[in-house]
Structure 1
Amino acid sequence: MRIRATVAAVSGALALSAIAVPAAQADAAAGDLKISKVSVNGGKDVVIGTTEMKKFKLSITATDPVGVRGISGFLWFGSDFNTSTEVIKPIVFDPQCVAVDETTTTCTDTVIAFPQDLRNAHAGSRWNVFATAVNNDGDKHREEYLKSDARLKRAARLTTNASPEPVKKGKTLTVTGALTRANWDTSKYAGYTKQSVQLQYKKKGAGSYSTLKTVKSDTKGNLKTTVKASADGYFRYVFAGTSTTPAVTSTSDFVDVR
């Protein structure tokens, strides 16, 4: 991964001291100082497209009988912290800390992921969280292999077009569409092939959609099926998502049936 210079240029005394801790000290507790919880994006998957950087929150909670002075951290990908160069960090380490009680503190920072620094192989995986904490006595504790509670996913797009419009009642409607998703390796959107997508319909004035059928995307991500026109209403495609790609619903297409 190409790490941006701005990301690598970390500031803040706590962050610098954390990164400088020798690997031999990793995961060694400083007395009763413990990192008790990490949360990425509030536990919700992080959806990233092809061009826009994505900001999201990293929260880390630590506890110690003498109280916690500060906490800092970042995300990294791989199986070996000492050799991994794939990281997602804040531009500047500036965590906002809130005392839960006299012994426990949660610090939250904003980290930034750049699509051009991601690979498709990262999608759906749980990144590791590096975290370091300092108690009120100045003791430090560092952990490297904490697991994220959220995954990074490739953004998806979905379209629907029903034709002809208007159409006579009982005649055939052709409903086309396309399911595409972000390709982090090429920085473009490409067809998501061989995926099951639901075609849904809502009659004009009705409160909810019903599923008419399930359609498979072709080798280019295109969708196509036919239905009989019955009454004025809305058609849309709905994709339930996969482990690497989030669920997405297309904008509905209204059909005037005469």
Structure 2
Amino acid sequence: MRKRAIFAVLAAASALGGFIGPAAYADETVGDIQITDVSVNGSKSITVGLTDKTVTVSVTATDPSGIWDADFHLWRGTDPNNPDDYITPNEDTTPADCVAAGTTTSTCSKTFTFEPDWWLTDADAGTWKVGVDVWADDDSRTQRDAYANTRLQRFSKLTVNAGPEPIAKGKALTVTGKLTRANWDTDVYAGYTAQPVKLQFRKAGTSTYTTIKTVNTSSTGDLRTTTTASADGYWRWNFAGTSTTPAVSATGDYVDVQ
């Protein structure tokens, strides 16, 4: 089963000269079987906060005899036979949940659960590779140790507060906020430091935000700047995201300018 605890045991066995898992992987295809698509979490990044996140991984494959079964593994690192981390599906079943689309093609799926309160650490954020094994009804098979990539990210939050309000036109308006993201080492949301965040304004009666300036977060993830109040409208912070943290925008804070 998936569990860092199990992987740690296997790694310890390796250190003692008796590494027994995960199984050795190498790309191989026997027969006419072909993979046509692999999808992880609906082709979206996997964003995890402080609670468990379960995602579906699926493969679509074709073979003249039909598709019988599929299995998956997710891993991080450069060597599939000695990965930094390695997890297997929640379902320990054969065959997988396969849905036929005709006599030769099927889509097979299994689920994976990312658990921040147990095995995830901040170092796990980033790119994970998807290994796929598929079997056909005539025993044709294909094995790919890194058919696709997926991105695991630490869920982010962004707040905003603009004031004073109401405010006279032309006066200095102070806009504050905070950018935080899930810390899987400590199980809290912590400030994301030294990140560029855009201050944006949307005039009342319009639908488009305009960037006014860019401000870097402090050592605690806080944001603070001043600008000129010119019209009624909404102020927000907008963060573009990084490889380990998804983009996020604060809900606009309305300011009445008199």
Alignment TM-score > 0.5, same fold:
yes
- Structure 1 Cα separation of the partners of residues 228 and 25 of structure 2: 68
1:69 corresponds in structure 2 to 68
Q: 1:118 aligns with which of 114, 117, 120?
A: 120
Structure 1 residues 46-57: aligned runs within 5 Å: 46-49=46-49, 51-57=50-56
1:12 corresponds in structure 2 to none
Deviates more, 1:129-138 or 1:235-244: 129-138
Report the number of matched residues. 242
- Structure 2 Cα separation of the partners of residues 193 and 163 of structure 1: 24
Give the TM-score normalised by the residue count of structure 2: 0.83
- Structure 1 Cα separation of the partners of residues 183 and 85 of structure 2: 18
Give the TM-score normalised by the residue count of structure 1: 0.83
Query: Equivalent residue of 1:42, what SS?
Result: helix
2:79 corresponds in structure 1 to 80
Query: What is the identity, as a one-letter code, of the residue corresponding to 1:152?
Result: L
Residues 36 and 231 (structure 1), Cα distance of their counterparts in 2 relative to 1, 3 Å cut: closer
Query: Equivalent residue of 1:220, what SS?
Result: coil
Structure 1 residues 137-156: aligned runs within 5 Å: 137-148=138-149, 150-156=150-156
2:89 corresponds in structure 1 to 90
- Structure 2 Cα separation of the partners of residues 87 and 222 of structure 1: 35
RMSD of aligned Cα (Å): 2.7
- The Cα shift of 1:90 comes to 3.3
- Structure 1 Cα separation of the partners of residues 91 and 77 of structure 2: 23
Query: What is the identity, as a one-letter code, of the residue corresponding to 1:124?
Result: G
Query: Equivalent residue of 1:115, what SS?
Result: coil
For structure 2, list consecutive stretches of 5 or more residues without a partner in the other structure: 7-19
Residues 103 and 205 (structure 1), Cα distance of their counterparts in 2 relative to 1, 3 Å cut: same
Residues 240 and 71 (structure 1), Cα distance of their counterparts in 2 relative to 1, 3 Å cut: same
1:37 corresponds in structure 2 to 37
Residues 110 and 202 (structure 1), Cα distance of their counterparts in 2 relative to 1, 3 Å cut: same
Please state which structure has a larger fraction of its residues in strand. 2
1:173 corresponds in structure 2 to 173
Say if 1:160 and 1:236, in contact at 8 Å, map to a contact too.
yes
Give per-residue Cα distances to partners, 1:222-253, cap 9 Å, x unaligned: 11110111222111000011111111000111
Residues 243 and 26 (structure 1), Cα distance of their counterparts in 2 relative to 1, 3 Å cut: closer
Deviates more, 1:234-243 or 1:129-138: 129-138
Residues 85 and 241 (structure 1), Cα distance of their counterparts in 2 relative to 1, 3 Å cut: closer
2:108 corresponds in structure 1 to 107
Give per-residue Cα distances to partners, 1:7-26, cap 9 Å, x unaligned: xxxxxxxxxxxxx9995684
Query: What is the identity, as a one-letter code, of the residue corresponding to 1:147?
Result: A
Say if 1:74 and 1:111, in contact at 8 Å, map to a contact too.
no
- Structure 2 Cα separation of the partners of residues 42 and 101 of structure 1: 22
Residues 203 and 145 (structure 1), Cα distance of their counterparts in 2 relative to 1, 3 Å cut: closer
Give per-residue Cα distances to partners, 1:65-110, cap 9 Å, x unaligned: 2211121223122333444473344322464322234322211222
Structure 1 residues 163-242: aligned runs within 5 Å: 163-242=163-242
- Structure 2 Cα separation of the partners of residues 236 and 24 of structure 1: 50
Say if 2:237 and 2:250, in contact at 8 Å, map to a contact too.
yes
- Structure 2 Cα separation of the partners of residues 250 and 71 of structure 1: 41
- Structure 1 Cα separation of the partners of residues 203 and 161 of structure 2: 16
Give per-residue Cα distances to partners, 1:176-199, cap 9 Å, x unaligned: 011111122222221111111111
Say if 1:32 and 1:65, in contact at 8 Å, map to a contact too.
yes
Query: What is the identity, as a one-letter code, of the residue corresponding to 2:191?
Result: G
